[in-house]
């Protein structure tokens, strides 16, 4: 078999390897492809380029990340890297608390886990300066997310909260739809009857406020925690990150004040920022978030930023009050904050592309808009 392979022209062998790379299926075993890189030196660069293009980390893998990228023998792999997904994992919880808002101890522990994981990763990346690579002119993309494995096991049996969710880029929509259908059939969601968790004959009914608040905590970076005293309050400056993404896949969101600090102190070379968050189920917390977010838009946007995307999500399950006695148009415009809209209008003048949905309204945005801004294309 080895002789047959070596007898093929080098161009044909490379074509075959590329087909294997592109045709790889993540549903079977997302890590199985790593073994191909160890077959021989000819295969190593082909498969390593794909294996290290996008890395998915949690707090337990950050040390290994430094090992496979940090020393002199392995730092060449940095040239392959384009995308880092830091998906922070919190402790499990059971049915005794799944219908309750997180208590102070849980909130403090989650904040500590979030702080340590983010600081440790950023400290590693802060040392990635002065190296060259074919893609380094574009920098790296960093995505942030946080969840508990229990979030999808109680009231909210959401596929996108599961560890096996196909979060790798999926170009084939049919594959993703099939994955949802297989999970639906496996769990028997069409006949699920679990009133305690809000399921009655396959339908969600009567969700408690506590069950919603359990999965929608707000993460803060509090330097006052005793166990974090060994960390400096100021996060390290990371020049290699030029694209920051926080998606609505997860319900928990980063506090606007903490995000403001990151944008001003850490991501000093940021060019693209995509921020998706869920509308809070607690009106008072939502007001506090919008107040702090207004301050972020005024002072936290880096001067290097050129593209900004803001999206606030909501649905009938979490926010039924937004859909009562409202027209279709009112459902999607009533929540817009005029102050945020006007602030964004002033702070976005240097951007070349802006997308803002639901959190702001176009009428308020253009109320104070001056015609001197000719840079925005879309």
Give the β-pairing of 199-200 and 203-204.
antiparallel
Residues 37-53 pLDDT 10s:
767 777 777 788 888 88
Please say if the pLDDT value at position 216 is more than 50. yes
- Cα–Cα distance measured from residue 296 to residue 159, given in angstroms and rounded to the nearest whole number: 32
Spatial contact of 295 and 340, defined as CB atoms under 8 Å apart: no
92-96, 231-235, 311-315: which is most confident = 92-96
DSSP state letters, 329-369: HHHHHTT--HHHHHHHHHHTTT-SEEEEESSS-HHHHHHT-
What pLDDT digit, counting tens, does each position of 155-208 carry? 887 777 777 665 555 555 556 666 666 666 666 666 666 767 777 776 777 789
Q: What letter does residue 163 receive in the DSSP assignment?
A: T
Model confidence pTM above 0.75: yes
Q: Mean pLDDT throughout 273-280?
A: 95
Structure tokens at 37: 């890189």
Using an 8 Å Cβ cutoff, are 313 and 274 in contact? Answer: no
């Amino acid at each position: 078999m080895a002789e047959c392979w070596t007898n093929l022209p080098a161009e044909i062998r490379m074509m075959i390897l590329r087909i294997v790379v592109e045709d790889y299926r993540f549903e079977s075993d997302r890590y199985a492809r790593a073994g191909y890189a160890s077959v021989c030196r000819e295969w190593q660069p082909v498969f390593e380029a794909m294996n290290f293009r996008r890395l998915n980390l949690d707090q337990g893998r950050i040390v290994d990340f430094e090992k496979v990228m940090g020393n002199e023998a392995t730092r060449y792999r940095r040239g392959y890297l384009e995308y880092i997904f830091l998906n922070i994992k919190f402790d499990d919880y059971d049915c005794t608390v799944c219908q309750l808002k997180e208590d102070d101890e849980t909130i403090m522990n989650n904040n500590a886990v979030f702080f340590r994981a983010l600081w440790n990763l950023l400290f590693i990346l802060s040392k990635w300066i002065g190296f060259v690579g074919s893609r380094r002119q574009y920098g790296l993309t960093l995505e942030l997310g946080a969840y508990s494995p229990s979030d999808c096991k109680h009231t909210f049996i959401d596929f996108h909260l599961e560890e096996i969710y196909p979060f790798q880029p999926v170009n084939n929509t049919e594959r993703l739809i099939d994955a949802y259908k297989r999970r639906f059939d496996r769990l028997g969601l069409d006949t699920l009857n679990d009133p305690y968790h809000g399921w009655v004959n396959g339908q969600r009914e009567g969700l408690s406020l506590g069950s919603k608040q359990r999965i929608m905590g707000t993460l803060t970076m509090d330097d006052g925690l005793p166990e974090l005293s060994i960390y400096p309050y100021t996060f390290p400056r990371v020049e290699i990150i030029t694209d920051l993404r926080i998606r609505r896949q997860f319900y928990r969101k980063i506090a606007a004040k903490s995000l403001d600090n990151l944008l001003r102190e850490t991501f000093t070379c940021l060019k693209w920022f995509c921020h998706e968050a869920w509308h809070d189920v607690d009106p008072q917390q939502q007001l506090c978030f919008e107040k702090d977010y207004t301050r972020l838009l005024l002072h936290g946007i880096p001067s290097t930023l050129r593209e900004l995307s803001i999206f606030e999500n909501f649905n009938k399950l979490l926010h039924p009050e937004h859909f009562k006695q409202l027209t279709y148009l009112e459902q999607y415009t009533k929540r817009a904050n005029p102050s945020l809209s006007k602030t964004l209008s002033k702070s976005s003048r240097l951007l070349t592309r802006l997308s803002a949905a639901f959190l702001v309204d176009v009428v308020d945005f253009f109320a104070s808009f001056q015609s001197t801004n000719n840079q925005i294309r879309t």
